[in-house]
Chains A and B, each alone.
Chain A
Amino acid sequence: MAELSPSRHSAFQVLTGLFSLPAGARVGAGPMIAAAILVAIVLASLLAPLYVPYDPLAMDSMSRLKPPSEMHLLGTDQYGRDTFSRVMTGGRVSLLIGVGAALVSVVIGLVIGLVAGFFRAADGIIMRIMDSLMAIPAILLAIALVALNGPSLGSVIIAITIPEVPRVVRLVRSVVLSAREEPYVEAAIALGSSMPKILVQHLMPNTLAPLIVQGTYICASAILIEAILSFLGAGVSTEIPTWGNIMAEGRSYFQVKPGLIFWPGLLLSLCILAINLLGDTARDLLDPRMKKREG
């Protein structure tokens, strides 16, 4: 896999290429540490119900806003709920939103981008619509969508997805535009292959590598936006703990108990940091030109 030029490899080869390093490429300690941190956070969140000492929703009026102790590792919040149990459980929903938003926006963006890149007639209109969507500040659009559709998990994912779609569309479109000039695509057109077949079999594999990179960035930004939405009062209902709404609820008490913002904030930041670093590494491996540019 010395030259990982996506245009000449099947989807499978690109995927395996992600895990087997190109000859001569070395992955430094940074990405390794990032991967370890991410795996630890994901496992800790997924397995949270097995080991957290308290029900994350159980209120206890006798032990409100308690400092960290043997009974409560990170103390309790204003309702007497155990902060440690809430933060660890909260990771599950935050990660779910991140992965969900990344998948949905990549799939929708891929379909629209393929169409825009291949059909000249549709291109102009689609790209004007995408430009307009990008002109609306993502946070405002997302809060508006959640506020109007209700604070369910699904509507938060949709709200985060819609502002991300234009970026994916632009990426896919640019890949398709350059790939469609390749001889093998022209040959397929000349041979009379059906449009769907050309799109799926010849053009789509080219988009896979950049989409994986873009997907990791979207995942990171989705987790961040979920936190901001919760903070502004337009997130998932507080019945379900997420890193975002634990911090949002801790807002009014942060002078007494900064831990309510600090701990979920720390885990969230570490998680996003790790995902971003892995995204950068994947990008460098998949696109040697960018590697040179970014140093």
Chain B
Amino acid sequence: MFSYILKRILATIPVMAIVAVFVFLLLRLTPGDPAAILAGDAATPAQLERIRDRLGLNDPLHIQFFTWIGQMLHGDLGTSLISSTPVAGMIGDRIGPTISIAIMTIIISVLLAVPMGVIAAWRHRTWVDFLVMSFSVLGFSVPVFVIGYILIQIFAIELRWVPVQGYAPLSDGIGPFMTRAILPSLTLATIYVALIARMTRASMLEVLGEDYVRTARAKGVRENVVLFRHALRNAAVPILTIIGTGFALLISGVVVTESVFNIPGIGRLTVDAILARDYPVIQAMILFTAGIYVFVNLIVDVSYSFFDPRIRY
């Protein structure tokens, strides 16, 4: 077990290294000059040259790369070209809203999607199954921001249950936090629920045909125990995998949802940085989100044996 976890952790190193090379090349090989952004429109060529020198942009490419990686590994994520503040601080200031909404989304999604998938598989080929599958296909087909605007239209504008946009941290009290976080979380949850419900159903359908399920029923185990204890546990691995790989969708969704609801999170931070060509922030943020994705999938891989005791490493 321990050696498997260690091997799995080591395997993330080449992946992250390639991501780093890729992000670095992406920004260096495309048109656009960070020095020009920093200098502004009125800069003379001499001023530009001085800034290029100070940023190290005149060094050979591989020197620039290793300098950057060295700084990253020491925890220095660079300094924003636009606001001249350290990127690490910017992330720290804005990660709170993103994490709260992401956690709420995952809780809502798993609580809704897993029972939906289980019931759809249990009542296979009935209207319940049809309803769950329809929702699941629909969830994939409507853009995240359209869902956001529909929810705003209904719950904020027509019913006036919650404010239209904005964010309040948990420290402002549970009420203000929940009324502002619920719509973004539901918006984000739609596609995640669609994904997880679909996989849960497929995985459960496979397991429900197994002999041990018939045996359990034959000896009179209650149906909910059969479904949730016997079957769901055996169906867990593909569901966990999809929760892990679907995390990429969640990150992409956060970026959009934060724009719809005007939430000052790291998704909005990244988009603004990209549109303003704030190179150090773009590099750090893409590396950071890729790191989170790799980490979540590492946890998912390691958790398999917890849910399915047959898996031993």
Contact = CB atoms under 8 A, between A and B. Distances in A.
Interface residues of B, number: 51
Nearest to B19: A132
A183 B157 CA distance: 66
A157 interface: no
B145 A140 contact: no
A103 interface: no
Range of interface residues on A (Cβ < 8 Å) = 35 or more
A44 interface: no
Contacts of A147: 274-275, 277
Interface string B126-146: 000100000001101111111
Interface string B174-215: 000000000000000000000000000110011000000000
A139 interface: yes
Q: Chain A: interface secondary structure? A: helix
Interface in A36-92: none
Q: Chain B: interface secondary structure? A: helix
Contacts of B282: 144
B158 to A, nearest CB: 11
A261 B274 contact: no
B138 A273 contact: yes
A293 interface: yes
Interface in A132-179: 132-141, 143-145, 147-150
B285 A227 contact: no
Contact of B144 (A150, A228, A258, A293): A228
Contacts of A143: 271, 274-275
Contacts of A199: none
Given A132-B18, A148-B32, 8 more contacts: A137-B255, A138-B252, A224-B143, A231-B256, A232-B271, A254-B149, A273-B137, A277-B137
Interface of A: 128-129, 131-141, 143-145, 147-150, 220, 224, 227-228, 231-234, 247, 254-255, 258, 261, 265, 268-270, 272-273, 276-277, 280, 293-295
